[in-house]
């Protein structure tokens, strides 16, 4: 039995070795869709990571801006008074002077400073006035910053031993401020901005018919770009409105469409398109009579020149590529509202608005070794599409007038590009715009 | 860099073209394996689909040591086993045997004229658990101990199942050969 068993084992092992059976057509579509679905969370994770990085940067920028506006630590304020007037030198050193209670209980406080000649002491009230918050409230034009150890006009400051419980009054005559010429700076309400960005383009699909899922499984978005010039007007301290003109180019690759050149002598279509390729953005119609298209894989080509009628290999046509590239260009006219969250050296804006997108060109081509072979164009596209955008702008002010901008922006097209397939396919794009703006 | 390395690299970079190329090159061989382990075409399709998804998901684990085809085959066989385990998880495999044992062992036979298609058809007619044990032992080369762990049966049951599977196969092969001879002789 063992020998017989080994024989039968060998029979099957050898007989089935290297045996192949072609799987049913269409199985690859299911596999590819599943892989695509599983890789999408990675894209979302990357987007989440990008948002986290941006938020962290914003927070750091905010903190940094705040610290910058408080000035260097340990600096003190003194009034800009005539040389003959007594000067209070009031160091703001939290570690030395706070909490205030310390001064009331400590008779031998060596921290209170007075002017020698006039016996001016600083009591609790003065200390309160000199608290950092109030110092900040002193009009800018009447103040100047000095370091802690500076003396003004040779005045010597010494500690005062005040008796316990006796509030020390300030004998501080003729503390007068010189007239100050306050000249209001003109507000720069207008600005012009130039921005550009590479953009990632993809689609959201509503409705799930078989054709749509088949089409989306063969389409891969290509990195696109967008850029333009805009003007903005500052309505208030926080709000500004912006418009301008942008040019954006979007593209996708349609896989499984095999293209060949040299078809013209066999082409009897006499001007009418010989091949139609349905895509989620519309149907590509061939306009180049020299191009032959076929879908051997899971792509789709509508034609009378089917595989059983015409074989491009037998006709010795020249193979170009196994995919088509579809390109759409839009002129974008946006109306954007900006809300300034942080208005410091590094500013943060929230940006949102709507744009009209005018279709200015569309083309379909095949590529071989960097050479473009024109195939045709896409029909059934909306010539005018409305899109919404939401983003966050970071602005680094180089000067009063000039700033560098970085604006991660998500754009969603409210109008589908096309409704050819019966499902609504809404494109979206994400780009990190960078550029400069000039205020005037 | 070898071509398969380039394809794998492309797949890891998310190139749809390379993924499809990998599928087109290896799907026929792996589908034959799926058919071998499944009782019907629908199940075979499911195994191939799930197997390929796992292959793409785990491609980064492949260290370019040993045969890539062998690595893919192991994933496909494991997928078939997972399906088998899921379907038979409610009871031990030993308890579901209802097939009648053959009465006697067949005589020496002439296996000539049998093609791979015939062998595949014969093997797919086996009861599921016999098919699993026979495939794992005779084709893949696992030991009874390993098979027992893989499909949750005892070593003895694995041996017994193999023995029964062999007897059934010998009888079927005999029938097939006889029919083929009759057809050939007119």
CATH number, domain of B186, equals 1.10.10.10
Structural domain containing residue B136: 93-186
Pick the last residue of a domain from B87, B106, B124.
B87
> Has residue B161 got a pLDDT over 80?
yes
> Which residues of chain B lie closer than 8 angstroms to A256, CB-CB?
20
Which residues share a beta bridge with A157?
A115
Quick one: B49 and B101 in the same domain?
no
**Quick count: other Cβ atoms within 10 Å of Cβ A308?**
6
CATH architecture for segment(s) A187-439: Beta Barrel (2.40)
Quick one: B16 and B76 in the same domain?
yes
DSSP A185: P
CB of B9 closer than 8 Å to CB of B38 = no
Quick one: B73 and B44 in the same domain?
yes
Quick one: B81 and B115 in the same domain?
no
Burial environment of residue A268 by CB neighbours within 10 A (0 to 12, 13 to 18, 19 or more): exposed
Quick one: B26 and B110 in the same domain?
no
Pick the last residue of a domain from B87, B121, B136.
B87
Task: Give the residue-averaged pLDDT of A30-49.
Answer: 68
Q: Provide the residue ranges of all domains of chain A, joining segments of one domain with +.
A: 26-55, 79-159, 187-439
Q: How confident is the model at residue A33 (pLDDT cuts 50, 70, 90)?
A: confident
Q: Which residues of A touch B (CB under 8 A)?
A: 1, 4-5, 8-9, 11-13, 15-16, 18-24, 27-28, 30-32, 34-35, 38-39, 220, 255-256, 297, 322-323
Q: Tell me how far apart the alpha carbons of residues A425 and A385 are, in angstroms, rounded to a whole number.
A: 13
What is the DSSP pairing of strand A143-147 with strand A75-79?
Answer: antiparallel
SS3 A104: helix
Quick one: B64 and B151 in the same domain?
no
Quick one: B59 and B99 in the same domain?
no
* Residue pLDDT, tens place only, B41-80: 888 999 999 999 999 988 888 888 888 999 999 999 999 9
Do residue B57 and residue A38 have CB atoms under 8 angstroms apart? yes
Quick one: B119 and B154 in the same domain?
yes
Q: Tell me how far apart the alpha carbons of residues B120 and B33 are, in angstroms, rounded to a whole number.
A: 9
pTM to 2 decimal places: 0.46
Bond before A118 cis per omega within 30 degrees: no
Quick one: B79 and B159 in the same domain?
no
Find, among A228, A256, A261, the residue nearest to A244 by Cα.
Answer: A228
> Has residue A315 got a pLDDT over 60?
yes
Q: How confident is the model at residue A108 (pLDDT cuts 50, 70, 90)?
A: very low
Do residue A34 and residue B53 have CB atoms under 8 angstroms apart? yes
Quick one: B76 and B123 in the same domain?
no
Q: Which residues of B touch A (CB under 8 A)?
A: 14, 16-17, 19-20, 23-24, 27-29, 31-32, 35-36, 41, 45, 48-49, 52-53, 56-57, 105, 108, 111, 114-116, 119-120, 123, 134, 137-139, 162-163, 166, 169-170, 173
Counting the structural domains of chain B, the total is 2
- Mind telling me how many Å the CA of B90 is from chain A's nearest CA? 29
Quick one: B184 and B99 in the same domain?
yes
* Residue pLDDT, tens place only, A338-394: 998 888 888 899 999 999 999 999 999 998 888 889 999 998 788 888 899 999 999
Which residues share a beta bridge with A352?
A337, A390
Quick one: B58 and B137 in the same domain?
no
> Has residue A333 got a pLDDT over 90?
yes
What ipTM goes with this model? 0.85
């Amino acid at each position: 039995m063992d020998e017989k068993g080994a024989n039968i084992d060998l029979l099957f092992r050898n007989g089935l070795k290297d045996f192949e059976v072609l799987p049913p057509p269409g199985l690859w579509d299911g596999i590819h869709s599943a892989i695509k679905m599983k890789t999408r969370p990675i894209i979302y994770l990357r987007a989440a990571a990008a948002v986290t990085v941006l938020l962290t940067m914003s927070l750091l920028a905010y903190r940094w801006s705040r610290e910058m506006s408080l000035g260097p630590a340990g600096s003190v304020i003194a009034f800009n008074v005539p040389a003959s007037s007594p000067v209070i030198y009031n160091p703001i050193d939290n570690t030395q002077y706070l909490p205030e209670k310390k001064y009331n209980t400590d008779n031998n406080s060596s921290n209170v400073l007075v002017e020698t000649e006039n016996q001016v002491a600083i009591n609790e009230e003065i200390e309160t006035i000199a608290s950092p918050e109030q110092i900040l409230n002193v009009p800018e034009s009447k103040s100047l910053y000095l370091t802690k150890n500076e003396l003004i006009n040779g005045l010597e400051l010494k500690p005062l031993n005040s008796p316990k419980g006796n509030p020390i009054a300030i004998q501080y005559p003729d503390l007068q401020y010189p007239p100050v010429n306050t000249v209001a700076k003109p507000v720069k309400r207008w600005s012009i901005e130039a921005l550009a960005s590479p953009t990632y383009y993809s689609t959201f699909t509503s409705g799930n018919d078989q054709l749509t899922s088949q089409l989306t499984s063969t389409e891969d978005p290509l990195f696109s770009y967008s850029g333009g010039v805009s003007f903005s007007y500052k309505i208030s301290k926080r709000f500004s409105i912006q418009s301008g003109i942008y040019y954006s180019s979007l593209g996708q690759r349609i896989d499984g469409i095999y293209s060949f050149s040299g078809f013209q002598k066999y082409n009897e279509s006499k001007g009418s398109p010989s091949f139609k390729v349905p895509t989620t953005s519309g149907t590509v119609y061939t306009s180049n009579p020299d191009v032959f298209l076929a879908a051997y894989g899971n792509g789709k080509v509508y034609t009378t020149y089917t595989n059983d009628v015409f074989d491009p290999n037998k006709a010795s046509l020249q193979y170009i590529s196994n995919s088509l590239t579809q390109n759409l260009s839009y002129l974008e006219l946006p109306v954007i509202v900006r809300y300034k969250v942080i208005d410091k050296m590094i500013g943060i804006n929230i940006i949102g608005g709507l744009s009209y997108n005018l279709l200015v060109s569309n083309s379909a081509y095949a590529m071989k070794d960097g050479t473009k072979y024109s195939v045709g164009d896409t029909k059934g596209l909306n010539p005018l599409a409305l899109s919404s955008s939401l983003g966050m702008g970071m602005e680094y002010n180089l000067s009063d007038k000039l700033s560098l901008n970085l604006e991660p922006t998500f754009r969603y097209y409210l109008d589908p590009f096309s409704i050819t397939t019966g499902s609504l396919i809404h494109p979206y794009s994400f780009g990190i715009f960078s550029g400069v703006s000039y205020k005037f | 860099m070898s071509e398969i390395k380039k394809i794998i690299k492309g797949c890891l970079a998310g190139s749809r073209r390379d993924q499809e190329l990998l599928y087109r090159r290896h799907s026929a061989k792996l589908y034959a394996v799926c058919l071998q382990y499944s009782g019907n075409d629908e199940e075979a399709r499911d195994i191939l689909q799930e197997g390929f998804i796992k292959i793409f998901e785990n491609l980064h684990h492949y260290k370019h040591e040993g045969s890539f085809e062998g690595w893919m085959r192991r994933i496909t066989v494991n997928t078939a086993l997972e399906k088998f385990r899921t379907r038979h998880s409610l009871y031990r495999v030993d308890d579901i045997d209802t097939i009648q044992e053959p009465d006697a062992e067949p005589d020496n036979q002439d296996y000539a004229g049998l093609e791979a298609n015939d062998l595949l058809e014969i093997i797919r007619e086996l009861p599921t658990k016999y098919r699993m044990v026979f495939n794992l032992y005779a084709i893949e080369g696992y030991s009874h101990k390993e098979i027992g762990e893989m499909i949750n049966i005892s070593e003895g049951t694995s041996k017994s199942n193999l023995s029964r599977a062999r007897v059934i196969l010998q009888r079927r092969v005999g029938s097939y050969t006889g029919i083929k001879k009759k057809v050939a002789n007119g």
